[in-house]
Amino acid sequence: MNVSKLSGFASISLEEMNGVSLLKRVDTKFLTSSSELSKLLPALYSDYQILEIDGNRLMNYSTLYFDTQDLRCYKEHHNGKAKRHKVRIRRYVESDICFLEVKEKQNSGMTNKVRCSIDNFETTLSTESKQFIENATKKNWELKPALHNAFKRFTLVNTQRSERVTIDVGLEYKTDSTTKEFKNVVVVEVKQVKQNTRTPIYSILKSNRIRTVSFSKYCMGVSNVFSDVKSNTFKELNLKINQLNY
C-alpha cells in the first residue's frame, strides 16, 4: 500500500474518536488488494478523518487468540453457529496498551465486544482473566493460546454520522512452528450501530466492484495455517485471499 495516500485525510485524536467506539455494532467486511486500496483512498478524503496518535496514522496491532484444545471457537464459526465467541488479547503497540477482549456474534447479526485492560500478553490466563471471560460468555472454558496475528491498521471516522472504518494491511499469522504472511491482502471493516449502505465508503467499494464477505481474521488464519482442520466452508474465501496475495 502507498502510505503517502494517508496524508490526504484530516486527523482525529484518540479522545475524539472514543465517541465513535461502537462496541455494540454491525460489522461488514470487504477484501481487496494493496494496489486497489491505494487507488480508492483519495475519494474518501472529504468524508472521513483518520486516527492519528503521536504523529502515527498507520498503527501496529499484535493479537493472541485463545481457543480450546479442539478449536471450539473456530469450529462454531465454520459450522455456522449464529451465536459464537472469539477470545483474544490485543496489544495496541503505539498506544502501549493491552486488552483482553471477548467478541460475541449474536443471533441478530450484531457484534458485542467487551474488554478489560491487562498489563501484557498472558500465555497462561490469570484467574482474573478467566473470570472475566466466564462472565462475558456465561461459559466455563479451558482456553489456551491458539494463534498469533500481527498487522498494521489505519482507522477512518465518518465526519457526518456514527461510522468507523478499519483498514488492515500486512497480515501475518504465527504458531510455534508456522508463519503465514498475507502482505498484499487488505481487510476493510465498516462498523456501524445499524447497517447503512448509503455511506461514502459503501459507494466507493461498490463502484470498484469490491463486495462484502463474511469471515473472521482468526478463522482466516486457522484455516490457512493449520493443516489438520476442516475448512470446507472457507474454501471459496481462501481461494480469493490467496489470489489477492499474489
**pLDDT tens by residue, 70-94:** 999 999 999 989 899 999 999 999 8
Contact 26, 109 (CB under 8 A): yes
Per-residue pLDDT tens, the chain, 246 aa: give them. Answer: 788 899 999 999 988 887 666 666 788 999 999 999 999 999 999 999 999 999 999 999 999 999 999 999 999 999 989 899 999 999 999 888 999 999 998 877 778 889 999 999 999 999 999 999 999 999 988 999 999 999 999 999 999 988 999 999 999 999 988 999 999 999 999 999 888 999 999 999 999 999 999 888 999 999 999 988 999 999 999 999 989 988
Q: And the C-alpha cell for 179?
A: 508463519
Task: DSSP for the chain, please give it.
Answer: --GGGGGGSEEE-HHHHGGG--SEEEEEEEEEEHHHHHHHGGGGTTTEEEE-BTTBSSEEEEEEEEE-TT-HHHHHHHTT-SSEEEEEEEEETTTTEEEEEEEEE-TTS-EEEEEEE-SS--SS--HHHHHHHHHHHSS----EEEEEEEEEEEEEEESSSSEEEEEEEEEEEE-SS-EEEETTEEEEEEEESS--S-SHHHHHHHHTT--EE---HHHHHHHHH-TTS--GGGHHHHHHHHHHT-
**pLDDT tens by residue, 29-59:** 999 999 999 999 999 999 999 999 999 999 9
β-pairing verdict for 10-12 and 48-51: parallel
Question: What fold characterizes domain 3-244?
Answer: Hypothetical Protein Pfu-838710-001 (2.40.320)
Beta bridge partners of 100: 89, 116
Contact 42, 2 (CB under 8 A): no
Give the span between the Cα atoms of 67 and 86, in whole angstroms: 8
pTM: 0.90
Give the span between the Cα atoms of 215 and 234, in whole angstroms: 8
Who contacts 217 (Cβ-Cβ below 8 Å, separation ≥6)?
63, 149, 151, 168, 171, 187
What radius of gyration, in Å, describes the C-alpha atoms of the chain? 18
